[in-house]
Amino acid sequence: MANTPTAQDEHRVVEAAPTGLFIGGEWRSATGDRTLVVEDPSTGEPLTEVADATPADGAAALDAAVAAQDSFARMAPRDRGEILRRTYEIMTARADDLALLMTLEMGKPLAEAKGEIAYAAEFFRWFSEEAVRIDGGYAIAPNGASRFLIHKQPVGVCLFITPWNFPAAMGARKIAPAVAAGCTMVIKPSELTPLSMHMIADILTEAGLPPGVLNVVTTSEAGPVMEPLIRDGRARKLSFTGSTPVGRILLAQSAEKVLRTSMELGGNAPFLVFDDADLDKAVEGAMLAKMRNMGEACTAANRFLVHRSVAEPFAEKLAERMGTLTVGRGTEEGVQVGPLVDGKSRAKVDGLVRDAVEKGADVVGGAEPVDGPGYFYRPTVLRDVPIQARMVREEIFGPVAPITVFDDDDQALAAANDSEFGLVSYVFTENLDRALRVSERLESGMVGLNTGLVSNPAAPFGGVKQSGLGREGGRIGIEEFLETKYVAIGFSG
């Protein structure tokens, strides 16, 4: 494929993506042939239509997952691992097409979409290796009168709900460990970006995943389709990635049948720059932590807390870098910032910026939508953002960097921890003692120390406080899909 894909390339990858519901190993239409439109956020034009599942279709998907669970749990771990390994290989070989499809449905620049495909594929490789490392234990009871056999079993049927911002990786992060553990599943991708998940379902099938193990239901009625499945009682786990308000609703629904839950929810990441920081490194990290995915990431730096003595040069350097970014359609060569996902998201970002400015923030650069089709917003730097500004408490989910100053470490930590969220924090300092002290006291599941990127399939990703429950990835990622069974063995010596 040429550097900038042609209209034919775009047409080809959209045409290749399945548009049905994937149930019991087959692509099929929704009941009543219902469809929903998938839009290109860089033009606002329709890309294609996909099947729009009804609650009856959701029930059929759960039936298929339930029917496949028993035999899949008994498949040899090596065979499950090989399916995951082949999935990694196919995704890697088709990375260009998968990335283009993602850019078309979601908007992120092609280079970032390729990065996400590599990241998503890596979950399949990582968990192909973990599938054969599920272990247990054997122990002697303290009084010597019995023996303990401890082993791990798949949790059972899982329900997955994923967001639009990382259309491949957020699903891969759940599907790969579930397959490794021997769980079947129903996944509901976001209605805004279903095509990437449809392609992954196709690839998993090509890699040998048995029918019914993975079922995909795209729908415009997320609540009515998923709630009955959560309350049904046959699924044993719900894993959700999305906003905290929706996570709260799903946790309440899961309580009825006491489902195991994993919740990867919203963030409000503080980005701390201390007076001894390497400023160039901090600006580099800020660009990554803020501008990856146009700021539409749960890990996006949401509040820049900068020591007073370096605030001026940091703001200037950051505004200068942000000002040089090329905004445009993600398929075009050289574009670094794509559109926001829809008009509602752009209006929300603009509303947060206006609110901050009305309350006294200074605009260093940007602070306005881009005219024309598509949902573009200019990279924005705001200084002296007052604590009353809504963006201090709410996820911005856009290319906006609000800066406030602090005078000492305690003040910085108090401000950083003053949030209901606790997903990730970023710390820039060259002082090792301070780095460790601050990292320990930050109330977040992850800390980026002199780096603006924490995501890695081999590391445990997740938050504390209202950013979620559980961890995805790393050695403990598979544990979310395993139950521990203990067998007490009478022993007479």
- Contact residues for ligand NAP, defined by CB under 6 A: 161-166, 170, 188, 190-192, 222-223, 226, 241-243, 246, 249, 264-267, 298, 395, 423, 463, 468
Can you tell me the distance from the alpha carbon of 445 to that of 435, in angstroms, rounded to the nearest whole number?
16
- Shortest spacing between CB 468 and ligand NAP, in angstroms: 6
Answer yes or no: are the C-beta atoms of 294 and 387 closer than 8 Å.
no
Can you tell me the distance from the alpha carbon of 481 to that of 335, in angstroms, rounded to the nearest whole number?
39
If the CB atoms of residues 366 and 468 are measured against ligand NAP, the closer one turns out to be 468
Can you tell me the distance from the alpha carbon of 186 to that of 190, in angstroms, rounded to the nearest whole number?
13
If the CB atoms of residues 166 and 271 are measured against ligand NAP, the closer one turns out to be 166
Write phi, then psi, for 491 (nearest 5 degrees): -145, 120
If the CB atoms of residues 452 and 463 are measured against ligand NAP, the closer one turns out to be 463
If the CB atoms of residues 157 and 282 are measured against ligand NAP, the closer one turns out to be 157
- Shortest spacing between CB 370 and ligand NAP, in angstroms: 21
| Beta carbons within 8 Å of 70's beta carbon, 6+ residues apart | none
The closest residue (CB) to ligand NAP is 242
If the CB atoms of residues 69 and 190 are measured against ligand NAP, the closer one turns out to be 190
- Shortest spacing between CB 373 and ligand NAP, in angstroms: 22
Q: Between β-strands 380-383 and 362-365, what pairing exists: parallel, antiparallel or unpaired? A: antiparallel
If the CB atoms of residues 267 and 285 are measured against ligand NAP, the closer one turns out to be 267
Q: In this structure, what token pair is assigned to residue 477?
A: 């990622």
Can you tell me the distance from the alpha carbon of 91 to that of 83, in angstroms, rounded to the nearest whole number?
12
- Between the CA of residue 355 and those of 61, 350, 361, 364, 416, what are the distances in Å? 44, 9, 9, 16, 21
- Shortest spacing between CB 219 and ligand NAP, in angstroms: 7
Can you tell me the distance from the alpha carbon of 191 to that of 366, in angstroms, rounded to the nearest whole number?
30
The residue count for the chain:
493
If the CB atoms of residues 156 and 242 are measured against ligand NAP, the closer one turns out to be 242
- Shortest spacing between CB 352 and ligand NAP, in angstroms: 14
- Between the CA of residue 129 and those of 14, 77, 458, what are the distances in Å? 32, 10, 11
Strand extents, DSSP E, 374-457: 380-383, 400-406, 421-422, 424-428, 446-449
| Beta carbons within 8 Å of 366's beta carbon, 6+ residues apart | 322, 323, 377, 378, 379, 380, 381, 399, 400
- Shortest spacing between CB 315 and ligand NAP, in angstroms: 25
Answer yes or no: are the C-beta atoms of 176 and 83 closer than 8 Å.
no
- Shortest spacing between CB 197 and ligand NAP, in angstroms: 10
* Token pair 């949401």: residue: 302
Active-site pick, 298, 395, 472, 480? 298
Is 298 an active-site residue?
Answer: yes
If the CB atoms of residues 242 and 399 are measured against ligand NAP, the closer one turns out to be 242
- Shortest spacing between CB 104 and ligand NAP, in angstroms: 17
Active-site pick, 112, 130, 191, 264? 264
Write phi, then psi, for 405 (nearest 5 degrees): -105, 155
Which residue, among 34, 37, 38, 67, has the nearest Cα to 225 in the 3D structure? 34
- Shortest spacing between CB 243 and ligand NAP, in angstroms: 3
Ramachandran quadrant class, 208 (left: phi over 0; alpha: psi -120 to 50; beta: rest): left
Can you tell me the distance from the alpha carbon of 229 to that of 253, in angstroms, rounded to the nearest whole number?
10
If the CB atoms of residues 42 and 345 are measured against ligand NAP, the closer one turns out to be 345
Q: In this structure, what token pair is assigned to residue 256?
A: 């009825």
- Shortest spacing between CB 461 and ligand NAP, in angstroms: 6
- SS3 state at 406: strand
Q: In this structure, what token pair is assigned to residue 127?
A: 């968990």
Amino acid at residue number 58: G
Is 183 an active-site residue?
Answer: no
The DSSP letter of residue 297 is S
Which residue, among 358, 52, 97, has the nearest Cα to 224 in the 3D structure? 52
Q: In this structure, what token pair is assigned to residue 412?
A: 């910085």
If the CB atoms of residues 285 and 470 are measured against ligand NAP, the closer one turns out to be 470
Catalytic site residues? 264, 298
